[in-house]
Amino acid sequence: MLEIARIAIKQMRVEKRHKAVGHPKEYADVLILAMVCYREMFNLTLRAAAGFARDIFNTFGMKTPSYVTLQRRMSKLKINLPIDRRRLRSGIIGLVDSTGFKVAGEGEWKVRKHGSSKRRAWTKVHYLIDYSSLQILALMLTSDYYADNLAVEPLLEYTPGTEKLKTIIGDGAYGTRALYKLIEQDYQSTLISPPWRNAKPSKLKNWETRNQYVNDCIKFGRDVWKENVGYHRRSLVETNMFRIKSAFTDRLKSRTTKNQQIEIQVRALLLNQWTNKYMPSYT
């Protein structure tokens, strides 16, 4: 906790030296980010996070914003995920998937015992994860009816080091002809996605890789095909999504879309920091 406060104070001193046009902000962005990090780490409300940060930063003689200011400034933050490029291999193997976070509704136990009496709503978060280092390279928040395959292109646009991209692995929802064309022609990489059961080769262009997968599944069986192409590596993205839900719960506390986006980005920021520093190393 104090480490986050010290980093915030150090960065604020750097920002004060910058002379820009207009009235300076009373509270630096890094202070707002530190307060949002406290909120996510300890699963606090905005009011509780403001009081918690006030007790910490008052020891350094600093003034902190109210929870109303925190809610307003939170939506204006620009967050860059901390990615350790030294842990990225020359050929990046990207794992893509999506999961849902509840934004409204009752708990699962109450619904199971007594039924649902209120509206229940979820939002979808799409992930792109590096296989070797387990770092979250990019993520985006969409509505729950947004197709998974449409999220790959914007995810890759925000991913650093795409020139090192070697393979993208996803489930059957990503096996579309447009996505095969995007990965193979624009990124000169390979897309691994299992074909539908009982699928047959197609005569359409830009689907040669998918036709090869279909022929291999017919010849050797799906289980053997998965072993041959290394499809089992995709399970690590499921593990990573379980980690972020276990550490920060599977609900989003914010009610506006912008704040929900910042909330999930802060969770990914913290998880990447913990992954880079505290993951066990094997020799």
Task: Rank 50-59, 98-107, 166-175, 192-201 by mean pLDDT and report only the highest.
Answer: 166-175
CA dihedral 38, 41, 42, 45 (to 10 degrees): 60
pLDDT (0 to 100) of residue 137: 94
Q: Report pTM.
A: 0.88
Mean pLDDT, range 195-216, rounded to an integer: 87
Q: Tell me: the pLDDT tens digits for 255-283?
A: 899 999 999 999 999 999 888 887 776 65
Token output for 240: 């990573």
pLDDT attached to residue 30: 85
Report pLDDT digits (tens) over 76-86. Answer: 998 888 888 88
Rounded Cα distance, 162 and 92, in Å: 8
CB 166 within 8 A of CB 91: yes
Q: Does the domain at residues 85-245 carry the CATH identifier 3.30.420? A: yes
**In this structure, what token pair is assigned to residue 55?**
């007790």
Is-contact 141 260, C-beta < 8 A?
A: yes
Q: pLDDT class for 23, splitting at 50, 70, 90?
A: low
* pLDDT of res. 229: 94
Burial annotation 71-98 (CB, 10 A radius, 16+ → b, else e): bebbeebeeebebeeeebeeebbbbbbb
3-class SS string, the chain: CHHHHHHHHHHHHHHHHCCCCCCCCCCCHHHHHHHHHHHHHCCCCHHHHHHHHHHHHHHHCCCCCCHHHHHHHHCCCCCCCCCCHHHCCCCEEEEEEEEEEEEECCCHHHHHHHCCCCCCEEEEEEEEEECCCCCEEEEEEECCCCCCHHHHHHHHHCCCCHHHEEEEECCHHHCCHHHHHHHHHHCCCEEECCCCCCCCCCCCCCCHHHHHHHHHHHHHCHHHHHHHHCHHHHHHHHHHHHHHHHHHCCECCCCCHHHHHHHHHHHHHHHHHHHHHHCCCCC
Q: Where in the chain is the domain with CATH 3.30.420?
A: 85-245
Q: Would residue 29 be called left, alpha or beta, if left means φ above 0 and alpha means ψ between -120 and 50 degrees? A: alpha
The answer to whether 79 and 33 have CB atoms below 8 angstroms apart is yes
> Which backbone phi and psi does 138 adopt, to 5 degrees?
-160, 155
Which tokens go with 267?
């969770």
